[in-house]
Structure 1
Amino acid sequence: MMILVAVDGSEGSAAALRWARRFADQMGASMGAIRAWEYPASAVLPGGPSLRGQDEVTAEVTSELTRFLRDELAEGAEGVEAIVEPGVADVAVLRAAERWRADLIVVGRRGLGAVASRLLGSVSRRVVEGATCPVAVIPSPLGAHEGPVVVGVDGSASATAAVEWATEVALALSSPMVVVHAVSYELPGSPYSFGDAMDRAGQALAEEQSRPPREAGVEVRTVVRALDPRALIPETADELDARLVVVGSRGTGPIASLLMGSTASYLAEQCDHPTVVVPRPAP
Protein backbone atom coordinates (compact mmCIF):
# COMPACT_ATOMS: atom_id res chain seq x y z
CA MET A 1 0.00 0.00 0.00
CA MET A 2 1.18 3.52 -0.86
CA ILE A 3 -0.18 6.41 1.24
CA LEU A 4 0.10 9.99 -0.01
CA VAL A 5 -0.57 12.83 2.46
CA ALA A 6 -1.09 16.43 1.34
CA VAL A 7 0.58 19.07 3.52
CA ASP A 8 0.68 22.86 3.39
CA GLY A 9 2.21 23.80 6.73
CA SER A 10 -1.14 24.27 8.49
CA GLU A 11 -2.19 22.55 11.72
CA GLY A 12 -4.85 20.69 9.75
CA SER A 13 -2.25 19.18 7.46
CA ALA A 14 0.03 18.46 10.44
CA ALA A 15 -2.77 16.40 12.01
CA ALA A 16 -3.24 14.58 8.69
CA LEU A 17 0.51 13.91 8.49
CA ARG A 18 0.69 12.48 12.02
CA TRP A 19 -2.34 10.27 11.43
CA ALA A 20 -0.95 9.06 8.09
CA ARG A 21 2.37 8.11 9.72
CA ARG A 22 0.63 5.98 12.36
CA PHE A 23 -1.69 4.39 9.80
CA ALA A 24 1.20 3.63 7.43
CA ASP A 25 3.06 1.91 10.25
CA GLN A 26 -0.03 -0.13 11.16
CA MET A 27 -0.63 -1.15 7.55
CA GLY A 28 3.01 -1.76 6.67
CA ALA A 29 2.63 0.85 3.92
CA SER A 30 5.06 3.16 2.18
CA MET A 31 4.37 6.87 2.52
CA GLY A 32 4.91 10.12 0.68
CA ALA A 33 4.14 13.72 1.64
CA ILE A 34 3.29 16.21 -1.09
CA ARG A 35 3.40 19.99 -1.05
CA ALA A 36 2.27 22.04 -4.04
CA TRP A 37 3.36 25.52 -5.10
CA GLU A 38 2.04 27.90 -7.72
CA TYR A 39 3.47 30.58 -9.97
CA PRO A 40 4.25 33.41 -9.73
CA ALA A 41 7.07 32.74 -7.29
CA SER A 42 9.11 35.93 -7.00
CA ALA A 43 12.06 37.28 -5.08
CA VAL A 44 12.53 40.96 -4.22
CA LEU A 45 15.90 41.98 -5.62
CA PRO A 46 17.56 45.36 -6.13
CA GLY A 47 15.59 46.97 -8.91
CA GLY A 48 12.31 45.21 -8.07
CA PRO A 49 10.76 41.75 -7.89
CA SER A 50 12.11 39.08 -10.19
CA LEU A 51 10.59 35.71 -11.09
CA ARG A 52 12.60 32.74 -9.91
CA GLY A 53 13.16 29.56 -11.89
CA GLN A 54 11.24 26.37 -11.20
CA ASP A 55 14.33 24.51 -9.98
CA GLU A 56 15.08 27.23 -7.41
CA VAL A 57 11.53 27.31 -6.08
CA THR A 58 11.29 23.52 -6.00
CA ALA A 59 14.51 23.30 -3.98
CA GLU A 60 13.24 25.89 -1.49
CA VAL A 61 9.83 24.23 -1.07
CA THR A 62 11.50 20.81 -0.72
CA SER A 63 13.67 22.20 2.07
CA GLU A 64 10.58 23.64 3.82
CA LEU A 65 8.72 20.35 3.44
CA THR A 66 11.65 18.35 4.82
CA ARG A 67 11.81 20.64 7.88
CA PHE A 68 8.06 20.31 8.37
CA LEU A 69 8.30 16.51 8.28
CA ARG A 70 11.11 16.49 10.84
CA ASP A 71 9.32 18.96 13.12
CA GLU A 72 6.07 16.97 13.10
CA LEU A 73 7.34 13.39 12.95
CA ALA A 74 10.85 13.51 14.43
CA GLU A 75 12.38 10.08 13.71
CA GLY A 76 9.15 9.07 11.97
CA ALA A 77 10.14 11.34 9.08
CA GLU A 78 12.65 8.71 7.97
CA GLY A 79 11.35 6.88 4.94
CA VAL A 80 8.71 9.49 4.08
CA GLU A 81 9.19 10.57 0.46
CA ALA A 82 9.15 14.38 0.14
CA ILE A 83 7.26 15.25 -3.06
CA VAL A 84 7.02 18.79 -4.43
CA GLU A 85 4.69 19.60 -7.32
CA PRO A 86 4.12 22.87 -9.16
CA GLY A 87 0.52 23.75 -9.85
CA VAL A 88 -2.87 24.26 -8.22
CA ALA A 89 -2.94 22.26 -4.98
CA ASP A 90 -5.73 19.77 -5.73
CA VAL A 91 -4.52 19.16 -9.28
CA ALA A 92 -0.96 18.64 -8.03
CA VAL A 93 -2.11 16.16 -5.36
CA LEU A 94 -4.23 14.15 -7.81
CA ARG A 95 -1.44 14.16 -10.40
CA ALA A 96 1.07 12.90 -7.85
CA ALA A 97 -1.38 10.24 -6.65
CA GLU A 98 -1.65 8.88 -10.17
CA ARG A 99 2.10 8.97 -10.75
CA TRP A 100 2.93 7.29 -7.43
CA ARG A 101 -0.02 4.88 -7.74
CA ALA A 102 -1.32 5.89 -4.32
CA ASP A 103 -3.76 3.51 -2.63
CA LEU A 104 -4.88 6.19 -0.16
CA ILE A 105 -4.72 9.99 -0.14
CA VAL A 106 -4.81 11.72 3.26
CA VAL A 107 -5.91 15.34 3.64
CA GLY A 108 -6.71 17.60 6.57
CA ARG A 109 -10.28 18.82 6.87
CA ARG A 110 -9.02 22.39 6.69
CA GLY A 111 -5.76 23.80 5.41
CA LEU A 112 -4.36 27.30 5.04
CA GLY A 113 -6.95 30.04 4.86
CA ALA A 114 -9.43 28.09 7.00
CA VAL A 115 -12.53 30.02 7.99
CA ALA A 116 -14.50 27.34 9.84
CA SER A 117 -12.76 24.29 11.26
CA ARG A 118 -15.78 22.05 10.76
CA LEU A 119 -16.21 22.77 7.06
CA LEU A 120 -14.38 20.80 4.39
CA GLY A 121 -11.83 23.02 2.67
CA SER A 122 -12.13 23.63 -1.06
CA VAL A 123 -8.86 21.83 -1.86
CA SER A 124 -9.75 18.82 0.31
CA ARG A 125 -13.21 18.65 -1.27
CA ARG A 126 -11.81 18.73 -4.80
CA VAL A 127 -9.31 16.00 -3.92
CA VAL A 128 -12.08 13.78 -2.51
CA GLU A 129 -14.27 14.38 -5.56
CA GLY A 130 -11.51 13.89 -8.11
CA ALA A 131 -9.57 10.96 -6.65
CA THR A 132 -9.76 7.49 -8.14
CA CYS A 133 -8.56 5.96 -4.85
CA PRO A 134 -9.95 6.29 -1.30
CA VAL A 135 -9.34 9.60 0.50
CA ALA A 136 -9.04 9.96 4.28
CA VAL A 137 -10.21 13.28 5.74
CA ILE A 138 -8.64 13.97 9.13
CA PRO A 139 -10.22 16.38 11.64
CA SER A 140 -8.10 18.58 13.88
CA PRO A 141 -7.64 18.28 16.78
CA LEU A 142 -7.80 14.50 16.59
CA GLY A 143 -8.31 12.25 19.60
CA ALA A 144 -6.77 8.81 20.11
CA HIS A 145 -9.65 6.64 18.92
CA GLU A 146 -9.16 2.90 19.47
CA GLY A 147 -12.59 1.43 18.67
CA PRO A 148 -13.80 -0.58 15.67
CA VAL A 149 -13.90 0.33 11.99
CA VAL A 150 -17.38 1.70 11.27
CA VAL A 151 -18.64 1.44 7.69
CA GLY A 152 -21.89 2.88 6.35
CA VAL A 153 -23.79 0.79 3.78
CA ASP A 154 -26.87 1.25 1.62
CA GLY A 155 -26.57 -1.47 -1.02
CA SER A 156 -24.89 0.78 -3.60
CA ALA A 157 -21.74 -0.06 -5.56
CA SER A 158 -19.90 2.60 -3.55
CA ALA A 159 -20.97 0.96 -0.29
CA THR A 160 -19.76 -2.43 -1.50
CA ALA A 161 -16.39 -0.87 -2.38
CA ALA A 162 -16.30 0.76 1.07
CA VAL A 163 -16.91 -2.61 2.76
CA GLU A 164 -14.13 -4.21 0.72
CA TRP A 165 -11.67 -1.46 1.68
CA ALA A 166 -12.74 -1.50 5.34
CA THR A 167 -12.32 -5.30 5.43
CA GLU A 168 -8.71 -5.03 4.28
CA VAL A 169 -7.99 -2.45 6.99
CA ALA A 170 -9.83 -4.37 9.74
CA LEU A 171 -7.82 -7.50 8.95
CA ALA A 172 -4.52 -5.60 9.00
CA LEU A 173 -5.36 -3.90 12.30
CA SER A 174 -7.02 -6.97 13.88
CA SER A 175 -9.99 -4.70 14.46
CA PRO A 176 -13.69 -5.54 14.63
CA MET A 177 -16.04 -3.90 12.14
CA VAL A 178 -19.48 -2.38 12.62
CA VAL A 179 -21.73 -2.22 9.55
CA VAL A 180 -24.27 0.60 9.83
CA HIS A 181 -27.43 0.91 7.73
CA ALA A 182 -29.98 3.68 8.11
CA VAL A 183 -33.57 2.72 7.29
CA SER A 184 -35.92 5.45 6.08
CA TYR A 185 -39.67 4.82 6.07
CA GLU A 186 -41.16 7.94 7.60
CA LEU A 187 -43.99 8.44 5.12
CA PRO A 188 -47.16 10.28 6.23
CA GLY A 189 -49.81 7.77 7.26
CA SER A 190 -47.51 4.74 6.84
CA PRO A 191 -48.96 1.61 8.44
CA TYR A 192 -46.81 0.03 11.13
CA SER A 193 -46.47 -3.11 9.02
CA PHE A 194 -44.71 -1.08 6.33
CA GLY A 195 -42.10 0.05 8.85
CA ASP A 196 -41.74 -3.53 10.05
CA ALA A 197 -41.06 -4.71 6.50
CA MET A 198 -38.49 -1.96 5.97
CA ASP A 199 -36.75 -2.92 9.20
CA ARG A 200 -36.49 -6.51 8.01
CA ALA A 201 -35.26 -5.43 4.59
CA GLY A 202 -32.70 -3.12 6.18
CA GLN A 203 -31.41 -5.85 8.45
CA ALA A 204 -31.18 -8.24 5.50
CA LEU A 205 -29.17 -5.66 3.53
CA ALA A 206 -26.79 -5.07 6.44
CA GLU A 207 -26.32 -8.81 6.92
CA GLU A 208 -25.65 -9.30 3.21
CA GLN A 209 -22.99 -6.57 3.18
CA SER A 210 -21.51 -8.03 6.38
CA ARG A 211 -21.05 -11.46 4.83
CA PRO A 212 -17.75 -10.82 2.93
CA PRO A 213 -15.84 -9.45 5.96
CA ARG A 214 -17.20 -12.25 8.16
CA GLU A 215 -16.04 -14.82 5.62
CA ALA A 216 -12.63 -13.13 5.62
CA GLY A 217 -12.39 -13.61 9.39
CA VAL A 218 -13.39 -10.16 10.64
CA GLU A 219 -15.58 -9.87 13.73
CA VAL A 220 -18.65 -7.97 12.50
CA ARG A 221 -21.79 -6.60 14.12
CA THR A 222 -24.58 -4.62 12.49
CA VAL A 223 -26.46 -1.48 13.51
CA VAL A 224 -29.78 -0.89 11.70
CA ARG A 225 -32.03 1.99 12.73
CA ALA A 226 -34.62 4.32 11.24
CA LEU A 227 -32.53 7.48 11.21
CA ASP A 228 -30.84 9.80 8.77
CA PRO A 229 -27.44 8.22 7.95
CA ARG A 230 -25.81 11.62 8.55
CA ALA A 231 -26.91 11.25 12.17
CA LEU A 232 -26.69 7.48 12.64
CA ILE A 233 -23.13 6.94 11.37
CA PRO A 234 -21.40 9.63 13.50
CA GLU A 235 -23.58 8.75 16.49
CA THR A 236 -22.47 5.12 16.22
CA ALA A 237 -18.85 6.19 15.73
CA ASP A 238 -18.99 8.35 18.85
CA GLU A 239 -20.61 5.64 20.97
CA LEU A 240 -18.02 3.04 19.93
CA ASP A 241 -15.01 5.40 19.78
CA ALA A 242 -14.44 4.33 16.16
CA ARG A 243 -10.86 4.46 14.95
CA LEU A 244 -12.10 4.95 11.40
CA VAL A 245 -15.34 5.71 9.57
CA VAL A 246 -15.63 4.42 6.00
CA VAL A 247 -18.32 5.40 3.48
CA GLY A 248 -18.84 5.24 -0.27
CA SER A 249 -18.58 8.44 -2.26
CA ARG A 250 -22.10 8.02 -3.65
CA GLY A 251 -25.07 6.12 -2.32
CA THR A 252 -28.48 5.30 -3.73
CA GLY A 253 -29.83 8.84 -3.46
CA PRO A 254 -31.80 10.53 -6.25
CA ILE A 255 -28.84 12.44 -7.75
CA ALA A 256 -26.36 9.61 -8.09
CA SER A 257 -24.36 11.42 -10.76
CA LEU A 258 -22.92 13.90 -8.24
CA LEU A 259 -19.29 13.29 -7.35
CA MET A 260 -19.77 13.19 -3.59
CA GLY A 261 -23.10 12.36 -1.98
CA SER A 262 -24.71 14.24 0.89
CA THR A 263 -23.81 11.61 3.48
CA ALA A 264 -20.14 11.40 2.46
CA SER A 265 -19.93 15.19 2.26
CA TYR A 266 -21.53 15.67 5.67
CA LEU A 267 -19.28 13.11 7.37
CA ALA A 268 -16.14 14.54 5.78
CA GLU A 269 -17.12 17.95 7.14
CA GLN A 270 -18.59 17.07 10.52
CA CYS A 271 -17.39 13.69 11.80
CA ASP A 272 -14.93 13.83 14.70
CA HIS A 273 -13.28 10.59 13.56
CA PRO A 274 -10.95 9.99 10.59
CA THR A 275 -13.31 9.47 7.65
CA VAL A 276 -12.40 7.57 4.49
CA VAL A 277 -14.45 8.21 1.35
CA VAL A 278 -14.20 5.31 -1.11
CA PRO A 279 -15.00 6.08 -4.77
CA ARG A 280 -17.37 4.07 -6.90
CA PRO A 281 -15.65 1.28 -8.82
CA ALA A 282 -14.78 2.17 -12.38
CA PRO A 283 -17.29 0.69 -14.87
Structure 2
Amino acid sequence: MTKRIPHGAVVCGVDGSSCSNAALLAAADLAGREHRALALVHAFEPSRVVDADRWRRQPGNDLALATLSRQEADTVLKDAALVVRGHAPDVEVVTTLREGDAREVMLAAAEDASVVVVGCRGRGGFARLPIGSVTLWLSQHSPCPTLVVRPREEGDPAAPVVVGTDATDTSAAALEFAFAQASFQGRPLVVVHCFDEHFQGGYGLTSIPDEDLEGLPTERLAIAEATAGLREKYPDVDVRIELGRGPAGPYLVRASEHAELLVVGSKQLSSFAALVLGAVSRSVVEHAACSVAVVPVSR
Protein backbone atom coordinates (compact mmCIF):
# COMPACT_ATOMS: atom_id res chain seq x y z
CA MET A 1 0.00 0.00 0.00
CA THR A 2 1.36 3.42 -0.99
CA LYS A 3 1.43 5.99 1.78
CA ARG A 4 2.68 9.54 2.14
CA ILE A 5 6.32 9.73 3.21
CA PRO A 6 6.56 10.97 6.83
CA HIS A 7 8.59 14.12 7.38
CA GLY A 8 12.14 13.29 8.44
CA ALA A 9 11.92 9.66 7.36
CA VAL A 10 14.82 7.62 6.06
CA VAL A 11 14.04 7.10 2.37
CA CYS A 12 15.39 4.03 0.59
CA GLY A 13 15.20 3.42 -3.13
CA VAL A 14 14.51 -0.25 -3.90
CA ASP A 15 14.53 -2.18 -7.16
CA GLY A 16 15.17 -5.79 -6.16
CA SER A 17 18.85 -5.81 -7.15
CA SER A 18 21.58 -7.13 -4.86
CA CYS A 19 22.96 -3.61 -4.31
CA SER A 20 19.46 -2.38 -3.51
CA ASN A 21 19.02 -5.17 -0.97
CA ALA A 22 22.25 -4.14 0.78
CA ALA A 23 21.00 -0.54 0.87
CA LEU A 24 17.68 -1.77 2.28
CA LEU A 25 19.36 -3.38 5.31
CA ALA A 26 21.57 -0.33 5.87
CA ALA A 27 18.53 1.94 5.70
CA ALA A 28 16.62 -0.23 8.20
CA ASP A 29 19.57 -0.10 10.61
CA LEU A 30 19.85 3.67 10.21
CA ALA A 31 16.12 4.20 10.78
CA GLY A 32 16.25 1.98 13.87
CA ARG A 33 19.24 3.78 15.38
CA GLU A 34 17.69 7.21 14.81
CA HIS A 35 14.12 6.18 15.68
CA ARG A 36 12.75 7.29 12.32
CA ALA A 37 10.23 5.86 9.91
CA LEU A 38 11.57 4.07 6.85
CA ALA A 39 10.01 4.90 3.50
CA LEU A 40 10.63 2.40 0.70
CA VAL A 41 10.35 4.02 -2.73
CA HIS A 42 10.18 2.29 -6.09
CA ALA A 43 9.87 3.93 -9.50
CA PHE A 44 8.69 2.04 -12.56
CA GLU A 45 8.32 2.79 -16.25
CA PRO A 46 6.20 0.44 -18.40
CA SER A 47 8.43 1.23 -21.39
CA ARG A 48 11.35 -0.46 -19.63
CA VAL A 49 9.64 -3.84 -19.38
CA VAL A 50 11.45 -6.49 -21.42
CA ASP A 51 10.02 -6.71 -24.99
CA ALA A 52 7.83 -3.65 -24.38
CA ASP A 53 8.04 -2.64 -28.06
CA ARG A 54 6.88 -6.09 -29.16
CA TRP A 55 3.96 -5.88 -26.73
CA ARG A 56 2.88 -2.51 -28.10
CA ARG A 57 2.78 -3.74 -31.67
CA GLN A 58 -0.19 -5.90 -30.69
CA PRO A 59 -3.52 -4.03 -30.37
CA GLY A 60 -4.84 -3.49 -26.85
CA ASN A 61 -1.61 -4.41 -25.11
CA ASP A 62 -0.72 -0.96 -23.76
CA LEU A 63 -3.04 -1.44 -20.79
CA ALA A 64 -1.79 -4.97 -20.21
CA LEU A 65 1.79 -3.73 -20.26
CA ALA A 66 1.04 -1.01 -17.71
CA THR A 67 -0.75 -3.53 -15.49
CA LEU A 68 2.12 -6.02 -15.69
CA SER A 69 4.65 -3.31 -14.92
CA ARG A 70 2.70 -2.14 -11.87
CA GLN A 71 2.27 -5.71 -10.61
CA GLU A 72 6.02 -6.29 -10.85
CA ALA A 73 6.66 -3.00 -9.04
CA ASP A 74 4.19 -3.93 -6.29
CA THR A 75 6.02 -7.21 -5.80
CA VAL A 76 9.37 -5.43 -5.46
CA LEU A 77 7.99 -3.17 -2.73
CA LYS A 78 6.18 -5.94 -0.86
CA ASP A 79 9.29 -8.13 -0.87
CA ALA A 80 11.40 -5.21 0.42
CA ALA A 81 8.93 -4.49 3.21
CA LEU A 82 9.01 -8.14 4.29
CA VAL A 83 12.82 -8.03 4.44
CA VAL A 84 12.75 -4.95 6.67
CA ARG A 85 10.12 -6.39 9.01
CA GLY A 86 12.24 -9.50 9.44
CA HIS A 87 15.47 -7.53 9.93
CA ALA A 88 14.19 -4.63 12.03
CA PRO A 89 10.65 -5.39 13.26
CA ASP A 90 10.40 -2.23 15.38
CA VAL A 91 10.95 0.13 12.45
CA GLU A 92 7.84 1.77 10.98
CA VAL A 93 7.71 0.99 7.26
CA VAL A 94 5.77 2.84 4.57
CA THR A 95 5.92 2.07 0.85
CA THR A 96 5.63 4.45 -2.07
CA LEU A 97 5.16 3.40 -5.67
CA ARG A 98 5.49 6.01 -8.43
CA GLU A 99 5.45 5.79 -12.21
CA GLY A 100 8.20 7.84 -13.80
CA ASP A 101 11.93 8.36 -14.11
CA ALA A 102 13.74 7.00 -11.05
CA ARG A 103 15.81 10.17 -10.67
CA GLU A 104 12.78 12.42 -10.54
CA VAL A 105 10.86 10.09 -8.24
CA MET A 106 13.75 9.80 -5.77
CA LEU A 107 14.46 13.53 -5.86
CA ALA A 108 10.84 14.28 -4.97
CA ALA A 109 10.97 11.74 -2.14
CA ALA A 110 14.13 13.41 -0.79
CA GLU A 111 12.44 16.76 -0.19
CA ASP A 112 11.19 15.88 3.31
CA ALA A 113 13.66 13.09 4.09
CA SER A 114 16.41 13.08 6.70
CA VAL A 115 18.58 10.96 4.39
CA VAL A 116 18.18 9.03 1.15
CA VAL A 117 19.74 5.57 0.94
CA VAL A 118 20.52 3.91 -2.39
CA GLY A 119 22.61 1.02 -3.65
CA CYS A 120 25.77 1.61 -5.64
CA ARG A 121 24.13 0.10 -8.74
CA GLY A 122 20.60 -0.62 -9.77
CA ARG A 123 19.00 -3.49 -11.62
CA GLY A 124 19.59 -1.79 -14.95
CA GLY A 125 23.30 -1.06 -14.42
CA PHE A 126 26.21 -2.67 -16.19
CA ALA A 127 28.18 -4.93 -13.84
CA ARG A 128 31.53 -3.50 -14.95
CA LEU A 129 30.58 0.07 -14.05
CA PRO A 130 31.55 1.25 -10.54
CA ILE A 131 28.36 3.20 -9.90
CA GLY A 132 24.82 3.47 -11.26
CA SER A 133 23.68 6.55 -13.19
CA VAL A 134 20.65 7.16 -10.95
CA THR A 135 22.77 6.85 -7.81
CA LEU A 136 25.43 9.24 -9.09
CA TRP A 137 22.85 11.78 -10.25
CA LEU A 138 20.97 11.67 -6.96
CA SER A 139 24.16 12.11 -4.92
CA GLN A 140 24.84 15.36 -6.77
CA HIS A 141 21.30 16.80 -6.67
CA SER A 142 19.54 15.58 -3.51
CA PRO A 143 18.53 18.30 -1.02
CA CYS A 144 19.30 15.93 1.88
CA PRO A 145 22.25 13.62 2.57
CA THR A 146 22.57 10.69 0.19
CA LEU A 147 23.99 7.43 1.55
CA VAL A 148 25.40 5.26 -1.23
CA VAL A 149 25.76 1.72 0.11
CA ARG A 150 28.53 -0.44 -1.27
CA PRO A 151 28.19 -4.07 -0.10
CA ARG A 152 31.10 -5.78 1.64
CA GLU A 153 31.52 -9.44 2.47
CA GLU A 154 32.84 -8.78 5.97
CA GLY A 155 32.66 -5.68 8.14
CA ASP A 156 35.33 -4.53 10.57
CA PRO A 157 33.80 -3.33 13.86
CA ALA A 158 36.87 -1.15 14.44
CA ALA A 159 36.78 0.52 11.00
CA PRO A 160 36.36 4.30 11.34
CA VAL A 161 34.04 6.83 9.83
CA VAL A 162 36.16 9.12 7.64
CA VAL A 163 35.12 12.67 6.76
CA GLY A 164 36.76 15.12 4.40
CA THR A 165 36.79 18.77 5.45
CA ASP A 166 38.22 22.10 4.35
CA ALA A 167 37.80 23.51 7.89
CA THR A 168 35.26 26.12 6.71
CA ASP A 169 31.48 26.45 6.96
CA THR A 170 31.27 24.68 3.60
CA SER A 171 31.97 21.31 5.23
CA ALA A 172 30.13 21.94 8.52
CA ALA A 173 27.11 19.82 7.52
CA ALA A 174 29.35 16.92 6.48
CA LEU A 175 31.21 17.11 9.81
CA GLU A 176 27.91 17.08 11.74
CA PHE A 177 26.68 14.04 9.81
CA ALA A 178 29.97 12.21 10.31
CA PHE A 179 30.06 12.84 14.06
CA ALA A 180 26.46 11.66 14.40
CA GLN A 181 27.11 8.44 12.48
CA ALA A 182 30.32 7.72 14.40
CA SER A 183 28.39 8.17 17.65
CA PHE A 184 25.41 6.06 16.55
CA GLN A 185 27.67 3.25 15.33
CA GLY A 186 30.22 3.43 18.15
CA ARG A 187 33.11 3.98 15.75
CA PRO A 188 36.15 6.28 15.79
CA LEU A 189 36.16 9.30 13.49
CA VAL A 190 39.02 10.37 11.23
CA VAL A 191 38.81 14.01 10.08
CA VAL A 192 40.84 14.44 6.88
CA HIS A 193 42.08 17.76 5.52
CA CYS A 194 44.04 17.63 2.27
CA PHE A 195 46.57 19.94 0.71
CA ASP A 196 47.26 19.97 -2.97
CA GLU A 197 50.87 19.08 -3.65
CA HIS A 198 51.60 22.54 -5.05
CA PHE A 199 48.89 24.69 -3.52
CA GLN A 200 48.20 25.69 0.04
CA GLY A 201 45.52 27.94 1.45
CA GLY A 202 44.96 29.97 -1.73
CA TYR A 203 48.00 32.20 -1.14
CA GLY A 204 50.31 30.96 -3.87
CA LEU A 205 52.24 27.99 -5.13
CA THR A 206 53.97 26.09 -2.38
CA SER A 207 55.45 22.63 -2.12
CA ILE A 208 54.80 20.85 1.19
CA PRO A 209 57.39 18.18 2.04
CA ASP A 210 56.01 15.00 3.58
CA GLU A 211 57.96 15.57 6.77
CA ASP A 212 56.28 18.95 7.24
CA LEU A 213 52.69 17.70 7.12
CA GLU A 214 52.66 17.18 10.86
CA GLY A 215 54.06 20.66 11.43
CA LEU A 216 51.16 22.76 10.19
CA PRO A 217 49.78 24.31 13.40
CA THR A 218 47.55 26.83 11.61
CA GLU A 219 45.71 24.12 9.68
CA ARG A 220 45.41 21.87 12.73
CA LEU A 221 44.04 24.80 14.73
CA ALA A 222 41.45 25.52 12.03
CA ILE A 223 40.27 21.90 12.07
CA ALA A 224 40.25 21.83 15.87
CA GLU A 225 38.07 24.96 15.91
CA ALA A 226 35.76 23.53 13.24
CA THR A 227 35.21 20.38 15.29
CA ALA A 228 35.22 21.86 18.83
CA GLY A 229 31.44 22.20 19.17
CA LEU A 230 30.86 18.73 17.75
CA ARG A 231 33.38 17.19 20.14
CA GLU A 232 31.32 18.64 23.00
CA LYS A 233 28.06 17.44 21.45
CA TYR A 234 29.44 13.93 20.84
CA PRO A 235 31.92 13.33 23.70
CA ASP A 236 31.80 9.57 23.08
CA VAL A 237 33.44 9.89 19.65
CA ASP A 238 37.18 9.28 19.47
CA VAL A 239 38.47 11.85 16.96
CA ARG A 240 41.73 11.84 15.03
CA ILE A 241 42.86 14.62 12.68
CA GLU A 242 44.73 13.58 9.56
CA LEU A 243 46.48 15.97 7.17
CA GLY A 244 46.90 14.60 3.67
CA ARG A 245 49.10 15.61 0.80
CA GLY A 246 47.59 15.78 -2.68
CA PRO A 247 44.11 16.27 -4.18
CA ALA A 248 41.28 15.36 -1.82
CA GLY A 249 39.48 12.94 -4.15
CA PRO A 250 42.23 10.33 -4.62
CA TYR A 251 43.37 10.69 -1.00
CA LEU A 252 39.87 10.02 0.35
CA VAL A 253 39.40 7.08 -2.02
CA ARG A 254 42.56 5.52 -0.58
CA ALA A 255 41.34 6.24 2.96
CA SER A 256 38.06 4.47 2.15
CA GLU A 257 39.86 1.13 1.83
CA HIS A 258 40.01 0.87 5.63
CA ALA A 259 36.84 2.81 6.50
CA GLU A 260 33.27 1.80 7.25
CA LEU A 261 31.82 5.03 5.91
CA LEU A 262 33.24 7.99 3.98
CA VAL A 263 31.48 11.36 4.34
CA VAL A 264 31.96 14.32 1.99
CA GLY A 265 30.16 17.58 1.33
CA SER A 266 28.46 18.72 -1.85
CA LYS A 267 27.53 22.22 -2.98
CA GLN A 268 24.95 22.90 -5.67
CA LEU A 269 25.95 26.45 -6.53
CA SER A 270 27.72 28.06 -9.48
CA SER A 271 31.01 28.81 -7.78
CA PHE A 272 34.58 27.60 -7.75
CA ALA A 273 33.97 25.97 -4.36
CA ALA A 274 30.98 24.14 -5.84
CA LEU A 275 33.10 22.83 -8.71
CA VAL A 276 35.77 21.57 -6.31
CA LEU A 277 33.26 19.96 -3.93
CA GLY A 278 31.33 18.44 -6.82
CA ALA A 279 34.47 16.91 -8.29
CA VAL A 280 35.50 15.43 -4.93
CA SER A 281 32.06 14.01 -4.09
CA ARG A 282 31.64 12.52 -7.56
CA SER A 283 35.10 10.95 -7.42
CA VAL A 284 34.51 9.24 -4.07
CA VAL A 285 31.00 8.09 -4.96
CA GLU A 286 32.37 6.46 -8.10
CA HIS A 287 35.54 4.93 -6.69
CA ALA A 288 35.39 4.56 -2.88
CA ALA A 289 35.80 1.07 -1.45
CA CYS A 290 33.20 1.65 1.29
CA SER A 291 29.77 3.25 1.57
CA VAL A 292 29.71 7.00 0.96
CA ALA A 293 27.51 9.75 2.39
CA VAL A 294 27.25 12.94 0.33
CA VAL A 295 25.96 15.80 2.47
CA PRO A 296 24.74 19.03 0.85
CA VAL A 297 26.09 22.27 2.27
CA SER A 298 22.67 23.61 3.23
CA ARG A 299 19.21 22.10 3.64
Contact 2:214 2:243 in 1 (8 A): no
Q: Provide the rounded CA distance (Å) in 1 between the counterparts of 2:43 and 2:277.
A: 24
Aligned twin of 1:148: 160
- Out of 22, 39, 42, the position equivalent to 1:35 is 42
Q: Offset at 1:220?
A: 1.4
In structure 2, what is the equivalent of residue 119 of structure 1?
Answer: 130
Aligned-pair distance for 1:197? 10
Question: 1:32 offset after TM fit, Å?
Answer: 1.4
Partners of 1:13 and 1:108 within 8 A in 2: yes
Match 2:192 to one of 175, 180, 191: 180
Distance, in Å, in 2 between the alignment partners of 1:233 and 1:28 is: 30
Report if aligned partners of 1:129, 1:259 keep a CA contact under 8 Å in 2. no
CA–CA separation in structure 2 for the residues paired with 1:232 and 1:259: 14
Distance 1:190 1:57 in 2: 58
What do the CA deviations read for 1:92-149 (whole angstroms, capped 9, x no partner)?
0111222xx2100011111123225553221112211221100001113454242222
Moved more, 59-68 or 40-49: 40-49
Offset of residue 82 of structure 1: 1.8
Question: Are the structure 2 counterparts of residues 189 and 273 from structure 1 closer, same or farther at C-alpha, using a change threshold of 3 Å?
Answer: closer
Q: Number of aligned residue pairs: give it.
A: 275
Aligned counterparts of 1:213 and 1:150: Cα–Cα separation in 2: 15
Alignment match of 1:136 (pick from 125, 147, 166): 147
Give the corresponding residue for 1:233: 252
Pair 1:201–1:261, CA change in 2 (3 A):
farther
Corresponding position: 1:80 with 2:93: yes
Q: CA deviation at 1:4?
A: 0.7
Q: Which residue of structure 1 lines up, in the alignment, with residue 239 of structure 2?
A: 220
Letter in 2 for 1:13: S
Equivalent positions of 1:251-262 (< 5 A) are 255-258=272-275, 261-262=278-279
SS of structure 1 residue aligned to 2:143:
coil
Match of 2:222 in 1: 205
- Looking at structure 1, the residues matched to 31 and 64 of structure 2 have their Cα atoms a distance apart, in angstroms, of 36
For residues 256 and 151 of structure 2, what CA distance do their matches in structure 1 show? 17
In the alignment, the residues of structure 1 paired with residue 130 and residue 208 of structure 2 have an alpha-carbon distance, to the nearest angstrom, of: 39
Q: Deviation digits for residues 245-268 of structure 1, max 9, x if unmatched? A: 1110149x9733449612111111
Q: Deviation digits for residues 223-264 of structure 1, max 9, x if unmatched?
A: 11223322332333434xx3221110149x973344961211
Can you give the 5+ residue segments of structure 1 that lack an aligned partner in the other structure? none
SS at match of 2:62: strand
**Which structure 2 residue ranges, 5 or more long, are not aligned?**
1-7, 200-204
Percent identity among equivalent residues? Answer: 27
Q: Is the 8 A contact 1:137 1:274 kept in 2?
A: yes
Q: TM-score, normalised by structure 2?
A: 0.78
- The aligned counterpart of 1:170 is 182
Equivalent residue letter for 1:15: A
Distance in 2 (alpha carbons) for counterparts of 1:276 and 1:172: 15
Aligned-partner Cα distance in 2 for 1:200–1:183: 14
Q: Is the 8 A contact 2:150 2:290 kept in 1?
A: yes
Aligned partner of 2:5 in structure 1 is none
- 1:12/1:191 Cα in 2 relative to 1: closer, same or farther (>3 Å)? closer
What is the CA distance between 1:27 and its match in structure 2? 2.6
Aligned to 1:96: 109
Structure 1 position 210, deviation (Å): 2.2
Name the CA shift for 1:33/1:182 in 2 (closer, same or farther; >3 Å). Answer: same
SS in 2 for 1:125: helix
